[in-house]
Amino acid sequence: MIEVRNASRRALLAGASGAVLTSGCASFFSASDDTGNSELRRETLSTMKRAARFMRERVAYRGGYLWSYAPDFSRRWGEMEAFPTMIWIQPPGTATVGHLYLDCFHATRDEFYYQAAMDVAEGLIAAQHPAGGWNYLHDFAGEESTRRWYDTIGKNGWRLEEFHHYYGNATFDDAGTSEASQFLLRLYAERRASRLRGPVEKALSFVLDSQFANGGWPQRFPLTSEAGLHGRADYTRQITFNDDVAGENIKFLLMIYQTLGDERALAAIRRAMDIFVATQQPAPQAGWGLQHDAQTLRPIGARTYEPEALTTHTTANNISQLMNFYEWTGEERFLARVPEAIAWLESVRLPDAAVQMQGRHYPTFIELETNRARIVHRRGSNVLNGEYYWNYDVAKPITHYSQWRNLDVEALRARYERLRSMSADRLAATTLLRARADFRLPPYFTTQNIEVSDLNSNAGSGAVQRPTAERVQELTASLNAEGYWPTPLVSTSNPYAGDGSQTPAAGDFSQTLVGDATDTSPHTTNDPVTGISTGAFIQNMSALLLSLDSGE
C-alpha cells in the first residue's frame, strides 16, 4: 500500500487480460539470431549467465532476495532496511526474481535457470505462512528476530504504518502473496514437480479460506482481534480493493482454474464478482473506496493518511473489472451501473484552472455526501510526535501518496460503448467457461509492467521493449567484473537510531519522504551510493531475454 511512485498498481499479468492469459509472443522462444550477429547472441547469453550466477550465488539468501544492497553488503533494503537474514516478498523481490529465472529458462532452455527458479521456490516455501499466504518479508532468523525488526526499524518508519505492528499473519497487500502464488503455480505447471504441489494447494486454500461469504477479501489473514493502530479500527480485516487485492486474487484463481481445472476456484471467482456489484455506492456517488466495511459495505478509512472516502483511482479500476466480468460472463448486471460510476468520476473532475499537478484532474479522496476533495497533510517530525490529518486545503499536501490522479475516463466510456455494441455471438466467444480450452500461460512475465514502490527500480515504468542491437551491446558491456550492473541507489534510509523524541525536530517535514533522523522511512538522496539493485537486474535481464526471442 506504499505509494511514493504516485501510480496505481498494474498487475504482473498486465497485457494478458481477462480469462485467456495467452502469450504476447507468437513463438514460445526462439534460438534464431534476432540481431543478425551470432557473436552478440553469444555475448548476450554469457552476460545473462554471469549476472544470474552473481545474484544466485552472492546475493540470494536461502533462495530469497531483497530490493537493493550496498556494494559491500553492509546495508540492504526491501521496502525498508532489512536484516541480513531477511528476504522480501513484495515485488520486485523474491517471487519476481523467480519469475525472471523462469522467463530466462523459456528464452534459452538452459537448465541453470530452471534450477535457479527452484531455488527461489524453496525460499518462498520456507517463508510461506502456515495458513498459505505470505507477509511482506520473512526473517530466516526466526520469530524473535522478526519481532525485533518490527519493534525497531519497522515501527519508526513514519509513513509506513503497515510496518508499525507485527500481526503474525499474511497479507494480500502489494501483490506479494498473489505474485508468490502465481510463480509457484507457474513453476509447478512447467514440470508438475511434486515438491511444489503442496505449497500451491496451500496458497489456493489461503485465497479460498480468507474470502468472505459476500465475495470480498480482507487485506490480512487469518483475521486477528487487533484493536487497530493509531487509535483507529483495524482496517486490515475489512473488504479491500486497494492495490487491486480482489483483482490479483481473481487472477490467481483464473490461473488455478485454467491450469488445474479446480472448480473451487471458479466458484470463488463468481463470488468475487458479486462484491464489486454489492459495494458500489448509490448514485450520484456511484464509486468505491479503498476499503469497505465487511458488514455495512460502506467505504471506511485505512491508514491515517487514507481517510474515509470514495477514491477515484479505485473506482476507475473497478469499472474496468466490471467490464472484464461482462466479457467473461455476458451477464448484464456487470454493465448496468457502469454509466453511473463514469458519471460520478466526471462530476469530480477538476477544471484545468484548479489542477494542482499537471495532467491530474481527479482528486484521490472524495468525501461521502458532499463530493468535496479531502486533502491529506502531516505535521511533526517522526512517528512519535507526528500525525497525519486531512482538510480541504490544497496547499502543502503529503507527497508520498498522491492527492490527485490521472485517469482516462474517456477510454472507460469508449470501452463501455464497444461492449454495448457487441453481438451476443461475439460475446459468447469470450466467456470464462470457454476460455479454459484455449488457455496457456504467457512464456514471459517480467517483460510486462510490474508496479512497485522501489525507488531504485525502473520496474513499473512500462512493459520492457525489445532492445536494439546497440542497447544489447550497452547492457553486455556495462555488467561489471563481479557480475552486476552498478546502479545508483537513489533510495536510502536513516539507520535505526532508537525511538524518536516526543518533541518535533526543527524543520518542515510536511512534504518530505522522511522526517527527522529517527525516521527509518526510505527516501531519495542526491548523493547515492552505487550498489546492487534487484529491480535493475530484472529489467536488464528481461530486455536481454527479449533480444533472444524472434517474436514470430
pLDDT of residue 63: 98
pLDDT of residue 456: 78
User: If you write DSSP's letter for every residue of 491-540 in order, what string do you get?
Assistant: EE-PPP-S---SSPPSS--TT-S--STT----EEEEEEEEEEEHHHHHHH
Predicted confidence (pLDDT) per residue in 287-344, tens digit: 999 999 999 999 999 999 999 999 999 999 999 999 999 999 999 999 999 999 999 9
pLDDT of residue 551: 59
Tell me the mean pLDDT in the region 36-52: 93
Task: Name the grid cell of 91.
Answer: 515485488
Domain boundaries, the chain: 38-547
Predicted confidence (pLDDT) per residue in 146-205, tens digit: 999 999 999 999 999 999 999 999 999 999 999 999 999 999 999 999 999 999 999 999
Q: Residues near 51 by Cβ (< 8 Å), separated by ≥ 6?
A: 479, 483, 484, 485, 537, 540, 541
Predicted confidence (pLDDT) per residue in 359-393, tens digit: 999 999 999 999 999 999 999 999 999 999 999 99
pTM value?
0.92
* 305 contacts 164 by C-beta, under 8 angstroms: no
* 525 contacts 396 by C-beta, under 8 angstroms: no
* 287 contacts 311 by C-beta, under 8 angstroms: yes
pLDDT of residue 448: 87
pLDDT of 23 > 90? The answer is no
User: If you write DSSP's letter for every residue of 13-38 in order, what string do you get?
Assistant: TTTS-SS----SSSSS---S-TTS-H
What DSSP element (H or E) covers 292?
strand 291-292
User: If you write DSSP's letter for every residue of 226-258 in order, what string do you get?
Assistant: ---STTS--GGGSEE-GGGHHHHHHHHHHHHHH
pLDDT of 8 > 50? The answer is no
pLDDT of 32 > 50? The answer is no
* 52 contacts 112 by C-beta, under 8 angstroms: yes
pLDDT of residue 434: 55
pLDDT of residue 222: 97
Predicted confidence (pLDDT) per residue in 471-529, tens digit: 999 999 999 999 999 999 999 999 999 999 999 999 999 999 999 999 999 999 999 99
pLDDT of 68 > 70? The answer is yes
pLDDT of 440 > 80? The answer is no
Domain 38-547 classification at class level = mainly alpha
Q: How far apart are CA 339 and CA 301, in angstroms?
A: 26
Place of cell 470501452: 415
* 293 contacts 278 by C-beta, under 8 angstroms: no
pLDDT of 432 > 70? The answer is no
pLDDT of residue 285: 98
Residue 36 pLDDT level (bands cut at 50, 70, 90): low
pLDDT of residue 209: 98
* 382 contacts 503 by C-beta, under 8 angstroms: no
- Name the pairing type of β-strands 239-240 and 220-221: unpaired
Q: How far apart are CA 342 and CA 142, in angstroms?
A: 49
Tell me the mean pLDDT in the region 526-546: 96
pLDDT of residue 430: 64
Query: Across the chain, what does the average pLDDT equal?
Result: 91
The phi, psi pair for 530, rounded to 5°, reads: -85, 120
Burial of 231 (0-12, 13-18, 19+ CB in 10 A): exposed
pLDDT of residue 30: 39
Give the 3-state secondary structure of residue 479. Answer: coil
pLDDT of residue 384: 97
Place of cell 537474514: 85
CA angle, 469 then 475 then 477, to 5° = 100
User: Which of 2, 128, 115 has the alpha carbon at shortest distance from 52?
Assistant: 115
Predicted confidence (pLDDT) per residue in 200-237, tens digit: 999 999 999 999 999 999 999 999 877 677 777 899 99
Asked if residue 522 has a cis previous peptide bond (ω within 30° of 0), the answer is: no
* 501 contacts 383 by C-beta, under 8 angstroms: no
Helix axes 38-54, 469-478, angle to 10 degrees: 40
Predicted confidence (pLDDT) per residue in 252-292, tens digit: 999 999 999 999 999 999 999 999 999 999 999 999 999 99
The residue type found at 209 is D
pLDDT of residue 431: 65
pLDDT of residue 293: 97
Residue 454 pLDDT level (bands cut at 50, 70, 90): confident
Residue 463 pLDDT level (bands cut at 50, 70, 90): confident
